[in-house]
Amino acid sequence: MLRALLLTLSVVAIAHAELCKPDAQNAFKVRISIKTALGDNAYAWDANEEYLFKAMVAFAMRRYSSKSTTQISNVLLCNVTDRVSFWFVVTDSSKNVTTVPGSEVEAAIRMNRNRINSAFLLSDKTLQFLKITSTLSPPVEPSTPVWLIVFGVVLCLIVAGIVFLVVSGIQKHKKKNKESTERENLEEKVEVTLENGIPCEALDLKAGRINGVFAADDERFTSL
Amino acid sequence: LSATPEIPKEDGRPKWDNKFQYILSCIGFAVGLGNVWRFPYLCQIHGGGAFLIPYFIALLFEGIPLLHLELALGQCLRKGSIGAWNTISPYLGGVGVGSWVVSVLVSLYYNTVLTWVMWYFINSFQEPLPWSVCPLNENRTGFNEECYESTSVNYFWYRKTLNITPDITESGTLQWWLILCSATCWAVVYLCTIRGIETTGKAIYVTAIFPYLVLTIFLIQGLTLPGATDGLIYLFTPNLNALKNPRVWLDAATQIFFSLSLAFGGLIAFSSYNPSKNDCEKDAVTVAIVNSMTSLYASIPVFSVLGFKATTAYWDCLDRNIISVINEFDLPEESIMRQNYTSWISFLNSSYPEKIAGLKLKSCDLQEFLDQSVSGTGLAFIVFTQAIILMPGSQAWAILFFIMLFSLGLSSMFGNIEGVFTPLLELRIISKSAPKELLSGVICLLSFLMALCFTLGSGSYWIDIFDRYAATVPLLVIAFFEVIGVVYIYKIKRFSKDVKWMTGRKLNLYWQITWKFISPLLLLIVFMAFVTLQMQKPPSYTAWNPKYEGFPMKEEKVYPPWVQAICVLLAALPCVCVPLVALFHLVKRKCRNKGPSFVLPEVFSCQGANS
């Protein structure tokens, strides 16, 4: 009984070794860069992490095919290096010693890439499935481009400045014109009656105007 | 001479609010984009610190004398360039007309450069910066091909900004975003020059001082960046052997000449608003020295940033190689660091040479990255923008950088526009009652409409043409005639008397010697050398062509004949004004025949200008 058990176990082990090898059919290489992603908070890659990985792949397969037949034991890991990198395959439990076609695995991983990444606190770049390309997320584009808004603000400020300067220039111009016409009016009003070139206002002397030519009248008579 | 007190005659000419405004305007005009993106480049390719020797010699024998001449001329005659030269001698009026034409041509294309700066400025308010990421292609499987093959920075400049055509003969369409920015830039210029120096005098306080603030901030930031010291050592290490190449001396002479913005007529216009009794000698020396010091000061942050960029590129190169090696040999992460990279590579190469060869690792050399020198728009819009992405807080740095470039360019634009505006005011093209605002508005509107041709797809090729032909040879010719005109036609004895009246000191022997012999001779030599160098090979340009095999390298193309004809026209048009006007006056006098004899300019002098 024990021998039969040992025999089946060794057969299974060999079969597994056959299924999971580098460049085997339907096998994928995974490369993980924990230190690059997390720096000082990096965790070590050990058997527990491997168990989580197997669980995530099984979860992805279950979600994709919606039949709960994939078990954690169906996911085989091999050739784990210090890098950290390894190969994995997913075996089919219904059919003996065969692997799930690569296209199905790829589609399942693709669908759940986000969940797998978050389980390990990594991203598409630091948890690489070497043959599975990731779809790129489009850059976020706001409805109005930001530069139009800034442009609008700048233009409004400039136009406001120009309008202010032009209006103040026109006002100054008008004031200057008004001042010059006022001065002209003032000079017109001052055109009052003149007598011998002297305005009459200056002549309001009760005593009359002394004509300098005849001022020497006093001296007509010689002094004694 | 009667002992009347110095009451300046009220001739209704606008004047500066204070001397500081005037000096700032001259400095702002002289200090422009070339101080930031041409001088450091010349320093780098011409032997680092050794370039300063021909530079200062050129400054001493060409820059300062010509600057003093122009400032003294404008101050003495109190007229713009056309009026001033007409006053000296009607036969020399062409010199003024020539400067006016050059100012017009330069204003057109210079503002388009400011348009590009403004476009980058308004795009700097986004996170992430638009030139840091490549857009996706149509089916979202990868990045846009043109962007992927070159870099995101190149793509943003050539495609998203210029939308450049692969050839100068293909005009492409008008780029609406550039038209909007161009309209804004001309609106800014109109806002600042609306009433001539009344408004530019106020604006210059900001546009002339602000760049120095930003340069200082960049200096401090640049010096803290890793790799900055490598860049600075590379820049300033003198290589005296480079001085044996005559090209170095030519470049120094032309750089000083164009950097001081001589022969544009703008400096004459500025100094014509001065009171007559002003020390123009001290002003000239001050402006020239400040301009050169600014060039030196600007090259420090520029080279710190370039050193930082080269170091980062070097580290990236190393990191990419390290990742390939680690992935190939499945070594643990962080086993190979930059420091032990070379030892690891030699170890691996000895054990597994075929694997290493199969990886096709690029050789990473810091010197090679430092050697990649760029000047002009390439420096600002490609190299610097790339470096800014790598700095923390890139939006703030980008905004600061582009505002600084805008102020530098705007203060130079003021001088160009004054060179156009002042002679037009004096020619009395419009009646005296029409407001100044109208004339400046008409100038700005017409210039905007003419500059629309630079917003086409092929616009930047045309700007290169204008930059190389309209703003180089004509200026040398005009400056030569300026010196000859003042020294030999107006006669240096009278000019020395005028300068002595203005400054209160006798003219130093240095000025006499440089004005009479050294400067004209230098100008002649520089002109000959410049033209000879241009003639040596057919004029060519480099085009951005995504379909070129060597893409992302630019494709060398030769100008077609009709474009070459336009180049010659641009260079010849201002120069030909000089003999044309002289000829015109000669013919007019001959026609009159019994008209008044040649009016020697003895009737006129500086002191007489005010009576």
Got the DSSP string for B458-502? Answer: THHHHHHHIIIIITSHHHHHHHHHHHHIIIIITTHHHHHHHHHHH
Mark yes or no for CB contact B136/A155 under 8 Å.
no
Assess contact for B463 and B109: CB atoms under 8 A.
yes
C-alpha span between B50 and B38 (Å, rounded): 16
Phi, psi of B30 (to 5 degrees): -70, -45
Q: Does B136 touch chain A (CB under 8 A)?
A: yes
Assess contact for B183 and B448: CB atoms under 8 A.
yes
Whether pLDDT at B6 is above 80? no
Per-residue pLDDT of A43-97, as tens digits, reads 888 889 889 998 998 888 888 887 677 788 888 888 888 888 888 888 887 776 7
Chain A residues within an 8 Å CB radius of B142: 136
CA angle B185, B186, B191 (to 5 degrees): 100
pLDDT of residue A88: 86
Nearest to B327 among A31, A35, A161 (CB): A31
- Classify strands A75-78 and A85-90 as parallel, antiparallel or unpaired: antiparallel
First-to-last C-alpha distance (Å) of chain A: 182
- Reading the block at residue B272, the tokens are 């014509």
Got the DSSP string for chain A? Answer: -HHHHHHHHHHHHHHHHHHSSTT-TT-EEEEE-HHHHHGGGPPP--HHHHHHHHHHHHHHHHHHH--TT--GGGEEEE---SSSEEEEEEB-SSSTT-B--HHHHHHHHHHTHHHHHHHTT--TTTEEETT-PPPPPPPP--SS-HHHHHHHHHHHHHHHHHHHHHHHHHHHHHHHHHHHHHHHHHHHHT---EETTEEGGGG--TT----GGGGGGGGGSPP-
Per-residue pLDDT of B352-411, as tens digits, reads 888 888 887 888 888 888 887 777 888 889 889 999 998 889 999 999 999 999 999 999
Query: From the CA of A69, how many Å to the nearest CA of chain B?
Result: 33
> Where do the domains of chain A lie?
15-129
C-alpha span between B388 and A52 (Å, rounded): 41
pLDDT of residue A25: 81
Q: Which of A117, A139, A12 is nearest to B144 (CA)?
A: A139
Q: Which of A48, A99, A102 is nearest to A74 (CA)?
A: A99
Mark yes or no for CB contact A34/B333 under 8 Å.
yes
pLDDT of residue A104: 85
Chain B residues within an 8 Å CB radius of A161: 191
Instruction: Read off the DSSP letter of residue B538.
Output: -
3 state DSSP class of B10 = coil
C-alpha span between B350 and A166 (Å, rounded): 79
Q: Which residues, other chains included, contact B403 with Cβ-Cβ below 8 Å and sequence gap of 6+?
A: B121, B210, B214
Instruction: Read off the DSSP letter of residue B14.
Output: -
Assess contact for A31 and B327: CB atoms under 8 A.
yes
Per-residue pLDDT of B72-124, as tens digits, reads 999 999 888 898 998 888 889 999 999 999 999 999 999 999 999 999 999 99
A106-115, B5-14, B126-135, range with the lowest pLDDT: B5-14
The percent of chain B in helix, strand and coil, each rounded to the nearest 5, is: 70, 0, 25
pLDDT of residue B11: 66
Q: Does B327 touch chain A (CB under 8 A)?
A: yes
Query: From the CA of B333, how many Å to the nearest CA of chain A?
Result: 6
Whether pLDDT at B492 is above 80? yes
Whether pLDDT at B583 is above 60? yes
- Rg (C-alpha) for chain B, rounded Å, is 27
Strand partners, A29: A87
Confidence label for A5 from pLDDT (cuts 50, 70 and 90): confident
3 state DSSP class of B567 = helix
Amino acid at B87: T
C-alpha span between B312 and A63 (Å, rounded): 44
- Classify strands A194-195 and A75-78 as parallel, antiparallel or unpaired: unpaired
Strand partners, A198: A195
C-alpha span between A79 and A68 (Å, rounded): 28
CATH numbers and ranges of domains, chain B: 20-593 (1.20.1740.10)
Strand partners, A78: A87
Mark yes or no for CB contact A136/B437 under 8 Å.
no
C-alpha span between B503 and B76 (Å, rounded): 11
pLDDT of residue A200: 64
Query: What's the half-sphere exposure (Cβ side, CA atoms, 13 Å) at B291?
Result: 34
ipTM of the complex: 0.79
Per-residue pLDDT of B323-345, as tens digits, reads 888 888 888 888 888 888 888 88
Nearest to A83 among B140, B194, B331 (CB): B331
pTM given for the model: 0.84
Per-residue pLDDT of A194-208, as tens digits, reads 666 666 666 555 566
**CB atoms inside a 10 Å sphere around CB B599:** 11
Q: Which of residues 165-184 of B touch A (CB under 8 A)?
A: 180-181, 184
pLDDT averaged over every residue in chain B: 87
Helix (H) or strand (E) holding B557: strand B555-558
Chain A residues within an 8 Å CB radius of B331: 82-83
C-alpha span between A117 and B560 (Å, rounded): 57
C-alpha span between B243 and B248 (Å, rounded): 6
Confidence label for A214 from pLDDT (cuts 50, 70 and 90): low
Q: Measured in whole angstroms, how far is the alpha carbon of residue B254 from the centre of its chain? A: 12
Mark yes or no for CB contact A158/B187 under 8 Å.
yes
Phi, psi of A134 (to 5 degrees): -95, 145
Assess contact for B219 and B440: CB atoms under 8 A.
no
Whether pLDDT at B5 is above 70? no
Mark yes or no for CB contact A136/B199 under 8 Å.
no
C-alpha span between B405 and B402 (Å, rounded): 5
**CB atoms inside a 10 Å sphere around CB A14:** 11
Amino acid at B76: C
